[in-house]
Amino acid sequence: MSDNSAAVLSNNLIYSAILFYALAFLSHAIEVAWSVKTPAKSVKKTKLDFSRTERVGRLATAFMVIGFLLLLPGVIFRGVSANRVPWGNMYEFSITGALAFSGAYLFALKKYKLRWLGLPAALSILLTLGTAVTLLYRPSAPLMPALKSPWLVIHVSAAIISGGVFLLANCIAGTYLFLDKYEQKGVRPVWAEKLPTLEALDNLSYRLVALVFPLWTFSVIAGAIWAEAAWGRYWGWDPKETWAFITWVAYAAYLHARVTVGWRGRKAAWLCLLAGSTFLFNYIYINVWGTGRHTYSGL
Amino acid sequence: MSTELDSRSFLRWCWRQLTSMRIALILLLLLAIAAIPGSLFPQRSQNPVQVRQYFIDNPQVAIWLDRFSMFDVFSSPWFSAIYLLLFISLIGCVLPRSIEHLKAIGAKPPLTPKYLDRMESYTEFKKVDLHIVERYLRKKHFRIRRDENSISAEKGYARESGNLLFHLSLVLILIAVGIGSLLGSRGDAIVNIGDRFINTPTSYDILGFGKYQSEDSLPPFSITIKDFKAKYDPVSNAALDYELTVSTANPVGSTETTRVIKVNQPLTYGSTKIYLQANGYAPIVVVKDKTGKVVFDGPTTFLPQDANLSSIGAIKVPDMQPQIGFVASFLPTADRDPIRGGFSSYPEVLDPRLLVAVWKGDLGLNRGIPQSVYRIDTSKMERIGLKALVLNESYDFGEGSITFTGWTSWVNLQIVKDPGKGFALIGAILAILGLLISLFTRQRRIWVKQGRKTQIAGLAKNGIPGLEDEIKELVKEMSNER
């Protein structure tokens, strides 16, 4: 296959994936909206009945799976078209990141019954892919010399996976804080009734962070080893490195706060959100407006 | 109470505070916050040129920022204070724990508490033989303390081992960074193709030493630049590959071997590495005076300005009377458009031009002020000519003539000695290992006590889930045994 046809195929697959993620988003929206039972006049509270929308919920998951199955070859062919791993610039980080996030969701869906997260998950995948194809798109191109290293695969893939899981943990911590507000006043809103308990959300976000923190540590260390080979020093406080360090320290503080000091609930969730936002800041700000040695990708 | 006792107890109070988890947490968050300005302001250690530009653009602000070390954040007193306090706190916390842990590894699990029914995950059970319970727990790799009527079992010591290993590895990394900065050196040298670099302090353009490193400690190798190839993408003009071929001898004068240096593939001599960091062009010109005598003949290093390697530089000819300087730019593939004028449209040399502005007067080289080799101070000079030269073209500017005879490439070799980095790598690997062990091992105790009934209780350290299931399984196993 010629490089060019692989690039075109990749684009088509990604556009099709977007279509299916949009269908998944719609189905999830219908699932939530149609679950609302018309309240009897005497009862003030609306009730949700998800048994009525079980089918459309499953359909949404099916669309998510199809989207994933289209995105996967889309990302692979992008790599094929340039003869390298598909994370050489921000467009490629985004499509690979969306793939990782979507994969993490589908994996956790089976294990933790996460379908309640489907609506926001589909929305964030749509937004990521949408900005990728509209704002960040760059024609497929070979790598610049500094990126030609096996460490590109190791360092960046570890960073993308860590990032995906950090964001998932952030979504859950955010949900925690949101629901906590309601529960303080007394009751959960109707749409949130089938969501897990606050305690389960709290534990889930902690477990995700604890699971992926060693991988993030590894990603930073792999980056340092690569930097030693390419730039002549293993650590130089380049803006990207500095923020990776900040993220690492923030999550280290979160883990200590939870494990050693015994923080739970609201305080822990805020700290988790803070740590996650340092990661996002690093990804968006440093890539788009930043200076330093990590900004070679032409976005 | 005597004041001596007072101050001693105060010191003890301080130490206890410093090694407390709460303070460690605050220090960790402070460290994260303190690193932020290092990414927002240009740093001297990375980009001194940008710092200088900042001083020019915002002189008032820059002076104040500089007073708070905002341009040297990571070597500033306040940043150092935070991480040193953090590491003291870490050592103060980890060392006693290590000693305790070593004792615990040798010792049996603690005594079974008196009242098990007050513990979490408490279960009562019909009377079973403690031998069977003991056998089961041993099979599950629990450490066991067997008393007459009770069993105290503990598992997951590796959690604390991993935890301590992780924190001690961080200390190792800090020591490694210290070794690197005290005993290392780092320098840059620009070398033209065909020239030889000998590793002595005078060969460098910039060279920095660690505090405990002397000038004669550089390894005595030499590097001769044989060939430099740069490949570019003909469509996007982006660089695809750089390959530098050198022949090198260690020590100088011994047999030479041919080696290749690439961007991700430095040349190594022990703890010293030689990196290919930048490259550019050096146009060659011949300058003659009025009488036709050659007063300058050779390459001059020009600084690349953009991706297509338009380069600027200064050719200084102090041996002419009056002195002559050429403020010049070199275009490897010359092109023109009405807006930008002359520019380079491709980074390889396909159609080179040398644009020179000729200045006559005092170059200012004898004033004792260090000058950039890429610029000419024209304040005491007068411009007498302007010309775009194609290859082998000469230009007569009245006081003499200049001929553009060719070009060569130069490379920037960065030579770094860091004896600490091996330790840093070991520290990093051990840290990950410790982290994995401590995060994925569950430490828990199970007590079984024989009374009228058999009582079972458990305690999971840090409230890690999974204990309930384990006790359930134990109970199930015991019911099967009967």
Q: Quick one: pLDDT at residue B264?
A: 87
Same domain, B245 and B287: no
| B168: in domain | no
Rounded to the nearest angstrom, the minimum Cα separation between A181 and chain B is: 25
Same domain, B358 and B215: no
Over residues B10-33, the mean pLDDT reads 86
DSSP state of A258: I
pLDDT at residue B106 above 60? yes
Question: What residue type is assigned to position B367 of the chain?
Answer: R
What is the Cα–Cα distance from A154 to A162, expressed in whole angstroms? 12
Q: Which of A192-196, B72-76, B320-324 bottoms out in mean pLDDT, i.e. has the lowest?
A: A192-196
Run of H or E residues at B165: helix B158-183
| B167: in domain | no
Over residues A261-271, the mean pLDDT reads 88
Q: Quick one: pLDDT at residue A48?
A: 59
Contact B427, B176 (CB under 8 A): yes
**ipTM entry:** 0.83
Look at B396 and B106; give whichever has higher pLDDT. Answer: B396
Interchain contact, A242 vs B421, CB within 8 Å: no
A186 token code pair: 């007394």
Per domain, the residue ranges of chain A are 1-85+114-142, 143-299
Give residues with Cβ within 8 angstroms of B82, minimum separation 6: B27, B30, B31, B34
Same domain, B296 and B391: yes
Q: Quick one: pLDDT at residue B80?
A: 92
Rounded to the nearest angstrom, the minimum Cα separation between B289 and chain A is: 44
Give A34-59 as a DSSP string: HTEEPPPSS--S-EE-GGGGHHHHHH
Exposed e or buried b for every residue in A275-287, given b needs 16+ CB within 10 A? bbebbebbbeebb
Over residues B405-431, the mean pLDDT reads 93
Name chain B contacts of A226, Cβ cutoff 8 Å: 264
Give A139-206 as a DSSP string: ---PPPGGG-SHHHHHHHHHHHHHHHHHHHHHHHHHHHHHHHHHHHHS---GGGTTSPPHHHHHHHHH
User: What totals of helices (H) and strands (E) does chain B contain, helices first?
Assistant: 9, 23
| Distant-in-sequence contacts of B99-103, Cβ < 8 A, 24+ apart | B101/B157, B101/B160, B101/B161, B101/B164
| B228: in domain | yes
pLDDT at residue A19 above 90? yes
Question: Could you give the percent of chain B with pLDDT greater than 90?
Answer: 44
Best A259, A279, A289 member to test B by mutation, with max B CBs in 10 Å, is A259
Q: Quick one: pLDDT at residue A284?
A: 79
Best A89, A204, A207, A221 member to test B by mutation, with max B CBs in 10 Å, is A221
Nearest in space to B33 (alpha carbons), one of B73, B85, B68: B73
Residue B401 pairs in a beta bridge with B288, B396
Same domain, B388 and B301: yes
Q: Quick one: pLDDT at residue B71?
A: 92
Interchain contact, A145 vs B263, CB within 8 Å: yes
Same domain, B122 and B86: no
Q: Quick one: pLDDT at residue A51?
A: 66
Give per-residue pLDDT as tens, A26-76: 998 888 777 766 555 555 555 556 666 778 888 999 999 999 999 999 999
Same domain, B389 and B419: no
| B435: in domain | no
Name chain A contacts of B241, Cβ cutoff 8 Å: 145, 148
Contact B412, B188 (CB under 8 A): yes
Over residues B31-38, the mean pLDDT reads 91
What is the Cα–Cα distance from B113 to B445, expressed in whole angstroms? 11
What is the Cα–Cα distance from A200 to A280, expressed in whole angstroms? 25
Give per-residue pLDDT as tens, B426-450: 999 999 999 999 888 888 888 888 8
What is the count of structural domains for chain B? 4
pLDDT band at A292 (very low <50, low <70, confident <90, very high): low
Q: Work out whether the CA dihedral A96, A102, A106, A112 comes out positive or negative.
A: positive
User: Is the omega angle on the peptide bond into residue B201 within 30 degrees of 0, that is, cis?
Assistant: no
Give residues with Cβ within 8 angstroms of A255, minimum separation 6: A209, A210, A213
| B329: in domain | yes
Interchain contact, A242 vs B414, CB within 8 Å: no
Q: Quick one: pLDDT at residue B481?
A: 63
Nearest in space to B322 (alpha carbons), one of B364, B374, B368: B364
Nearest CB to A229 within list B264, B424, B439: B264
Nearest CB to B239 within list A144, A151, A234: A144
pLDDT at residue A218 above 90? yes
pLDDT band at A216 (very low <50, low <70, confident <90, very high): very high
Q: Quick one: pLDDT at residue B475?
A: 81
Nearest in space to A252 (alpha carbons), one of B93, B435, B177: B435
Best B186, B264, B429 member to test A by mutation, with max A CBs in 10 Å, is B264
Specify the 3-state DSSP secondary structure of B34: helix
Rounded to the nearest angstrom, the minimum Cα separation between B172 and chain A is: 14
Nearest CB to B32 within list A233, A249, A256: A249
Specify the 3-state DSSP secondary structure of B222: strand
Same domain, B285 and B404: yes
Interchain contact, A217 vs B233, CB within 8 Å: no
Q: Quick one: pLDDT at residue B175?
A: 94
Helices A198-231 + A239-256 axis angle, to 10 = 150
Name chain A contacts of B73, Cβ cutoff 8 Å: 237
Same domain, B7 and B95: yes
Residue B144 domain boundaries: 108-156+443-481
User: How does the average pLDDT of chain A come out, rounded?
Assistant: 84
Same domain, B135 and B216: no
Give residues with Cβ within 8 angstroms of B65, minimum separation 6: B41, B71
A 10 A CB-CB count for B333 gives 19
User: How does the average pLDDT of chain B come out, rounded?
Assistant: 88
Give per-residue pLDDT as tens, B141-200: 888 888 888 889 988 889 899 999 999 999 999 999 999 888 888 899 999 999 999 998
Name chain A contacts of B74, Cβ cutoff 8 Å: 237
pLDDT band at A253 (very low <50, low <70, confident <90, very high): very high
Nearest CB to B439 within list A214, A218, A232: A214
Same domain, B418 and B397: no
Look at B137 and B120; give whichever has higher pLDDT. Answer: B137
Same domain, B318 and B401: yes
Over residues A202-216, the mean pLDDT reads 91
Name chain A contacts of B42, Cβ cutoff 8 Å: 291
| B65: in domain | yes
A 10 A CB-CB count for B312 gives 15
B323 token code pair: 């002195």
Name chain B contacts of A210, Cβ cutoff 8 Å: 439
Contact B283, B299 (CB under 8 A): yes
Q: Quick one: pLDDT at residue B460?
A: 82
CATH number reported for the structural domain that contains residue B143 in this entry: 3.30.310
| B436: in domain | no
User: What is the reported pTM?
Assistant: 0.82
Nearest in space to A201 (alpha carbons), one of A106, A116, A110: A116
Residue-level length of chain B: 482
Run of H or E residues at B466: none
Q: Quick one: pLDDT at residue B1?
A: 47
Interchain contact, A239 vs B39, CB within 8 Å: yes
Same domain, B259 and B318: no
pLDDT band at A94 (very low <50, low <70, confident <90, very high): confident
Name chain A contacts of B76, Cβ cutoff 8 Å: none
Q: Quick one: pLDDT at residue A157?
A: 87
Interchain contact, B436 vs A214, CB within 8 Å: yes
pLDDT band at A299 (very low <50, low <70, confident <90, very high): very low
Residue B287 pairs in a beta bridge with B296, B402
Interchain contact, A229 vs B421, CB within 8 Å: no
What is the Cα–Cα distance from B179 to B182, expressed in whole angstroms? 5
pLDDT band at A3 (very low <50, low <70, confident <90, very high): low
| B467: in domain | yes
